[in-house]
């Protein structure tokens, strides 16, 4: 095999220009496909990270109570509330899920008013003195020392700019309680953080006890628990496990499997219906467990569409290139016919002759593919260094830069396809070379 | 000395609580007045009116909107057509019971929604629209009942605390004319007791069926300078033709 490999390698250096052109064609195909795949996967991944950042994790657990209607024609009221501070936390801690962190918070949506200016705001009531939480923030003005004030508010630079507000200023926040009544509170700007996109520019943070009091949430309560898993791919499995654990405790919980039956394309919506529909009535808290993929199934679909499209493009490019490879090796067979005859006369068997052809073509294609991959990685690295200041693209960027994500599985599939197609492209020439009689070959006059 | 001060404070506090409390008799009287404010309004039969809204926001130019409204209250039928600004002219809404259709004159398409869905995301609750006769007693307790003067009118000042979660504000203060039970002013308070919104109704028009508020001023107390003025004009109580409450009518206007 070593000898065949050596011979194949030597043959490749004989017609350099032709082989280089073939390798470039293959490299170009791989470069285009790998770069597009990497770019779109990176963009979708950043969007997913953005949403994960917004929701706080990849597995989301909410609790709802239902207040029955008191009059005919009325609908019962759904209240987003988890009273038991430790129940979900204990489940997560006791079952050793592989998570980066988890958090519980009270989410409140409303409007901030400052000096006649209004802005939409989403305030996360949480433990703002938590070290892990603070480590994730990029504070550009103000100080962590200000956060001990119960009315402290952390806002984004974009919001500060739109309201023309500074650290130390007081603003008014209007919202509704968990029961739907209007309420208002004053907050003092304690810190301004850097935002990377439109979504997190609207996110603000305040002390959970302050927000709880504002929205009528009982002390120690919260409305959402999120788990940021180390491996995003485990989210559906973990969500299902948590749902089963809650059910095993005899506590009311949504059914993911039922949601998949009612809304197979969007299980998150199916789970929502298990809370909002009038036919579902319960007493106490009913938990809803969803993964981010359940909530936003489009992300998974987009990624799978991207991989399918890029693989199809690659197949088309490879098919075109393989026509060239096939023709080239027909030509090579004709050019080397006397050489084949000599080698066969010296004792090389037909099978090995064919193997030289196949190995030569495979080496050529792999060199092209690896070059395309390397070139793609270099180009992706260069593009990554360019800062992008386009607001509308901010969801797809990571800290203002394009990022690229290469799927190992996709690359393996693409290389496997290349080997397969190359094998078929030179199969005819290799077969002819193998079947050639030494005497006939040596007699041939070109 | 400290002990005496403490006793005095407790005494004063309990006096305050006693005086602040509303007797059952006053509470009953307050509810009757609130119920009469509903009865005195012309809420039955057909009517049509032009509603003009002038929205003022600090640092922004005034915004004017105008709508024509047709309503058959007893059948829960309503048609609204936007008249101004010119860019939105022809936008329409049709309500038939629980169903609502919005009409876009550019695409000439109707979008259906239900009353429940339409109100689901907003602060308005079904109870605000389909008020039962007992909604005051069901949802509030009377926490204040006084007499006073508002402008030139002697008024009852009734403070209601929400006892259910249905009302949008946890405390509301009404200033109601003594001679005719018309609400002249409403103050809406947050759960923390802060004034959030004031509604002034300086002008009513008397029609055979009752009174209609023809001028209303909504003042956002949190964002000083933000006001919405609503003026009702061209009020008629003639029987409206059935065709007005149809999709074809909205289409025919454009």
Across the range A3-14, mean pLDDT stands at 82
Query: Measured between CB atoms, does A362 come within 8 Å of chain B?
Result: no
- The residue assigned the tokens 């023309």 is A164
What pLDDT is recorded for position A1?
67
Minimal Cβ distance to A174: which of B125, B126, B222:
B222
The overall average pLDDT reported for chain B is 84
* Nearest Cα residue in chain B from A117: B58
**A vs B: CB pairs below 8 A:** 60
Minimal Cβ distance to B223: which of A77, A116, A176:
A116
List the single range of A109-123, A206-220, A325-339 with lowest mean pLDDT. A325-339
Across the range A67-74, mean pLDDT stands at 75
Q: Tell me, what DSSP letter sits at residue A76?
A: P
List the single range of A329-343, B133-147, B158-172 with lowest mean pLDDT. A329-343
Query: Measured between CB atoms, does A75 come within 8 Å of chain B?
Result: yes
Half-sphere exposure of A88 (CA within 13 A, CB side): 31
pLDDT tens figures, B83-142: 989 888 888 899 988 788 989 988 889 988 766 555 444 444 444 455 667 789 989 999
Across the range B162-188, mean pLDDT stands at 93
Distance from CA of B177 to the nearest CA of A (A): 27
Task: Evaluate whether A432 touches A350 at the Cβ level (below 8 Å).
Answer: no
How many residues comprise chain B? 254
* Nearest Cα residue in chain A from B195: A184
A-chain CB neighbours of B123 within 8 Å are: 176, 180, 182
Phi, psi of A287 (to 5 degrees): -90, 145
Of A173, A169, A213, A163, the C-alpha closest to A191 is A169
A-chain CB neighbours of B169 within 8 Å are: 181-182
In a domain, B184, yes or no: yes
CA B249 to chain centre: 28
Cβ distance A182 to B188 less than 8 Å, yes or no, reads yes
| Better-predicted residue by pLDDT, A223 or B18 | A223
What pLDDT is recorded for position B187?
96
pLDDT tens figures, A362-393: 888 889 889 999 999 999 999 999 988 877 77
Query: Measured between CB atoms, does A283 come within 8 Å of chain B?
Result: no
Q: What CA–CA distance (Å, rounded) separates B1 from A329?
A: 112
Q: What CA–CA distance (Å, rounded) separates B158 from B150?
A: 13
Beta bridge partners of A119: A112
B-chain CB neighbours of A74 within 8 Å are: 126-127
Q: What CA–CA distance (Å, rounded) separates B164 from B145?
A: 20
In a domain, B63, yes or no: yes
**Angle in degrees, 0-180, between the axes of helices A16-55 and A350-385, rounded to the nearest 10:** 50
The overall average pLDDT reported for chain A is 87
Minimal Cβ distance to A183: which of B116, B164, B190:
B190
| Better-predicted residue by pLDDT, B130 or A428 | A428
A185-189, A322-326, A336-340, B90-94 — most confident range: A185-189
Query: Measured between CB atoms, does A113 come within 8 Å of chain B?
Result: yes
A-chain CB neighbours of B58 within 8 Å are: 116-117
B-chain CB neighbours of A182 within 8 Å are: 123, 168-169, 188, 190, 196
Please report the sign of the dihedral spanned by the C-alpha atoms of residue A217, residue A220, residue A221, residue A226: positive
Residue A45 CB partners (closer than 8 Å, separation 6+): A403, A405
List the single range of A24-28, A202-206, A391-395, B166-170 with lowest mean pLDDT. A391-395
* Nearest Cα residue in chain B from A72: B132
Beta bridge partners of A401: A398
ipTM (interface predicted TM): 0.77
* Nearest Cα residue in chain A from B190: A183
Q: What is the CATH number of the domain that holds B146?
A: 2.50.20.10
Query: Measured between CB atoms, does A78 come within 8 Å of chain B?
Result: no
CA B29 to chain centre: 22
Minimal Cβ distance to B169: which of A67, A116, A181:
A181
In a domain, B1, yes or no: no
SS3 content of chain A, % helix, strand, coil (to 5): 55, 20, 25
Q: What CA–CA distance (Å, rounded) separates A278 from A81?
A: 18
Quote the domain boundaries for residue B68: 29-252
pLDDT tens figures, A86-96: 999 999 999 98
- Widest CA span in chain B: 83
Q: Tell me, what DSSP letter sits at residue A253?
A: B
List the single range of A74-88, A266-280, A391-405, B69-83 with lowest mean pLDDT. A391-405
Best of B165, B168, B218, B225 to substitute, by most chain A Cβ atoms within 10 angstroms, is B165
pLDDT confidence bin for A125, thresholds 50/70/90 = very high
**What tokens were used for B206?**
């008397």
pLDDT over 70 percentage in chain A = 98
> Quick check: helix, strand or coil at residue A157?
helix
Cβ distance A117 to B59 less than 8 Å, yes or no, reads yes
Distance from CA of A204 to the nearest CA of B (A): 20
Task: Evaluate whether A261 touches A145 at the Cβ level (below 8 Å).
Answer: no
3-state SS, one letter per residue, for A370-416: HHHHHHHHHHHHHHHHCCCCCHHHHHHCECCECCCCCCHHHHHHHHH
What pLDDT is recorded for position B131?
63
Query: Measured between CB atoms, does A68 come within 8 Å of chain B?
Result: no
| pLDDT reading at A138 higher than 90 | no
Identify residues of B whose CB sits under 8 angstroms from chain A CBs.
57-59, 116, 123, 125-127, 130, 132, 138, 162, 164-165, 167-170, 188, 190-192, 194, 196, 222-226
Please report which residue ranges of A105-171 form alpha helices under DSSP H.
131-135, 157-163
| Better-predicted residue by pLDDT, A315 or B7 | A315
What pLDDT is recorded for position A130?
86
Omega before A121 cis (within 30°)? Answer: no
Beta bridge partners of B153: B150
Please report the sign of the dihedral spanned by the C-alpha atoms of residue A412, residue A417, residue A418, residue A423: positive
Helix (H) or strand (E) holding B148: strand B140-150
CA end-to-end span of chain A, whole Å?
30
Q: How many separate domains does chain B show?
A: 1
- Exposed/middle/buried for residue A166 (C-beta within 10 Å: 0-12, 13-18, 19+): exposed
Cβ distance B125 to A180 less than 8 Å, yes or no, reads yes
- Tell how strand A224-229 and strand A59-67 pair up: antiparallel
Across the range B151-164, mean pLDDT stands at 94
Please count the other Cβ atoms lying within 10 Å of the Cβ belonging to residue A282: 12
Of B117, B124, B120, the C-alpha closest to B100 is B117
Minimal Cβ distance to B190: which of A71, A179, A182:
A182
| pLDDT reading at B159 higher than 80 | yes
| pLDDT reading at A445 higher than 70 | no
Task: Evaluate whether A260 touches A243 at the Cβ level (below 8 Å).
Answer: no
Of A288, A266, A217, the C-alpha closest to A62 is A288
pLDDT tens figures, B37-50: 988 987 678 889 99
Helix (H) or strand (E) holding A270: helix A267-276
Cβ distance A184 to B165 less than 8 Å, yes or no, reads no
Please report which residue ranges of B21-94 form alpha helices under DSSP H.
24-39
Q: What CA–CA distance (Å, rounded) separates A381 from A299?
A: 24
Cβ distance A116 to B57 less than 8 Å, yes or no, reads yes
Residue B142 CB partners (closer than 8 Å, separation 6+): B22, B26, B27, B30, B31, B158, B159, B160, B161
**What tokens were used for A149?**
């004030």
Query: Measured between CB atoms, does A234 come within 8 Å of chain B?
Result: no
* Nearest Cα residue in chain A from B170: A181
B-chain CB neighbours of A179 within 8 Å are: 165
Omega before B22 cis (within 30°)? Answer: no
| Better-predicted residue by pLDDT, A300 or A278 | A278
Best of B189, B222, B224, B226 to substitute, by most chain A Cβ atoms within 10 angstroms, is B222
What pLDDT is recorded for position A394?
75
Q: What residue ranges in A170-315 does DSSP mark as E strands? A: 170-176, 182-193, 203-207, 224-229, 286-291
- The residue assigned the tokens 């250096």 is A13
pLDDT over 90 percentage in chain A = 39
**What tokens were used for A184?**
């208002």
Please report which residue ranges of B103-252 form alpha helices under DSSP H.
115-120, 126-129, 135-139, 247-252
């Amino acid at each position: 095999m070593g000898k065949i490999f050596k011979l194949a390698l030597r043959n490749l250096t004989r017609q350099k220009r032709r082989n280089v052109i073939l390798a470039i064609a293959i490299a170009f195909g791989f470069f285009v496909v790998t770069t597009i795949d990497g770019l779109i996967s990176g963009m979708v991944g950043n969007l997913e990270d953005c949403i994960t950042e917004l929701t706080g994790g990849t597995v989301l657990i909410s609790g709802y109570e239902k207040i029955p209607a008191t009059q005919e024609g009325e609908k019962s009221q759904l209240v987003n509330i988890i009273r038991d501070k430790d129940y979900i936390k204990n489940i997560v801690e006791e079952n050793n899920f592989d998570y980066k962190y988890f958090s519980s918070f009270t989410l409140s949506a409303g409007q901030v008013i400052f000096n006649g200016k209004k802005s939409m705001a989403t305030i996360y009531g949480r433990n703002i003195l938590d070290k892990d939480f603070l480590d994730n923030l990029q504070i550009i003005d103000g100080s962590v020392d200000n956060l001990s004030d119960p009315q402290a508010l952390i806002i984004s630079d974009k919001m500060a700019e739109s309201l023309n507000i500074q650290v130390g200023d007081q603003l008014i926040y209007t919202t509704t309680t968990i029961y739907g009544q209007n309420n208002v509170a004053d907050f003092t700007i304690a810190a301004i953080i850097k935002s990377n996109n439109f979504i997190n520019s609207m996110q603000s943070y305040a002390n959970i006890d302050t927000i709880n009091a504002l929205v009528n949430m009982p002390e120690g309560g919260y409305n959402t628990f999120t788990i940021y898993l180390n491996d995003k791919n485990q989210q559906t499995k973990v969500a299902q496990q948590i749902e089963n654990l809650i059910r095993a405790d005899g506590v009311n919980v949504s059914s993911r499997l039922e949601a998949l039956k009612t809304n197979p394309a969007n299980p998150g919506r199916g789970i929502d219906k298990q809370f909002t529909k009038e036919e579902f009535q319960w007493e106490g808290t009913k938990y809803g467990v969803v993964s981010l993929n359940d909530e936003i199934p489009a992300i998974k679909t987009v990624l799978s569409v991207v991989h399918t499209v890029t693989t199809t493009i690659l197949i088309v490019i490879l098919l075109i290139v393989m026509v060239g490879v096939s023709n080239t090796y027909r030509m090579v067979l004709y050019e080397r016919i006397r050489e084949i005859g000599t080698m066969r006369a010296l004792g090389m068997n037909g099978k090995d002759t064919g193997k030289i052809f196949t190995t030569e073509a495979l080496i050529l294609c792999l060199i092209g593919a690896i070059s395309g991959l390397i070139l793609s990685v270099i180009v992706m690295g260069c593009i990554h260094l360019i800062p992008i200041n386009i607001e509308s693209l901010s969801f797809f960027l990571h800290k203002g830069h394009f990022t690229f994500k290469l799927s190992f599985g996709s690359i393996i599939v693409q290389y496997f396809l290349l080997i397969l197609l190359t094998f078929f492209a030179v199969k005819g020439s290799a077969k002819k070379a193998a079947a050639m009689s030494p005497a006939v070959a040596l007699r041939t006059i070109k | 000395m400290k002990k005496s001060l403490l006793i005095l404070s407790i005494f004063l506090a309990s006096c305050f609580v006693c005086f602040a409390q509303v007797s059952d008799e006053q509470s009953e009287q307050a509810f009757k007045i609130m119920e009469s404010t509903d009865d005195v309004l012309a809420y039955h039969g057909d009517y049509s009116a032009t509603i003009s809204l002038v929205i003022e926001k600090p640092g922004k130019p005034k915004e004017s909107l105008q709508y024509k409204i047709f309503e058959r209250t007893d059948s829960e039928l309503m048609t609204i057509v936007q008249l101004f600004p010119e860019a939105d002219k022809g936008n329409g809404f049709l309500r038939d019971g629980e169903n609502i259709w919005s009409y876009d004159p550019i695409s000439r398409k109707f979008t259906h929604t239900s009353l429940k869905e339409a109100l689901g995301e907003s602060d308005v609750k079904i109870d605000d629209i389909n008020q039962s006769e007992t909604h005051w007693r069901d949802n509030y307790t009377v926490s204040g009942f006084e007499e006073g003067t508002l402008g030139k009118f002697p008024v009852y000042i009734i403070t209601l605390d929400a006892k259910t979660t249905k009302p949008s504000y946890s405390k509301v203060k009404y200033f109601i004319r003594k001679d005719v039970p018309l609400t002249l002013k409403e103050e809406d308070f947050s759960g923390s007791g802060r004034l959030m919104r004031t509604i002034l109704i300086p002008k009513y028009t008397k029609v055979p069926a009752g009174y209609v508020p023809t001028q209303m001023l909504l003042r956002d107390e949190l964002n000083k300078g933000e006001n919405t003025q609503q003026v009702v004009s061209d009020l008629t109580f003639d029987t409206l033709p059935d065709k007005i409450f149809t999709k074809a009518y909205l289409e025919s206007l454009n």
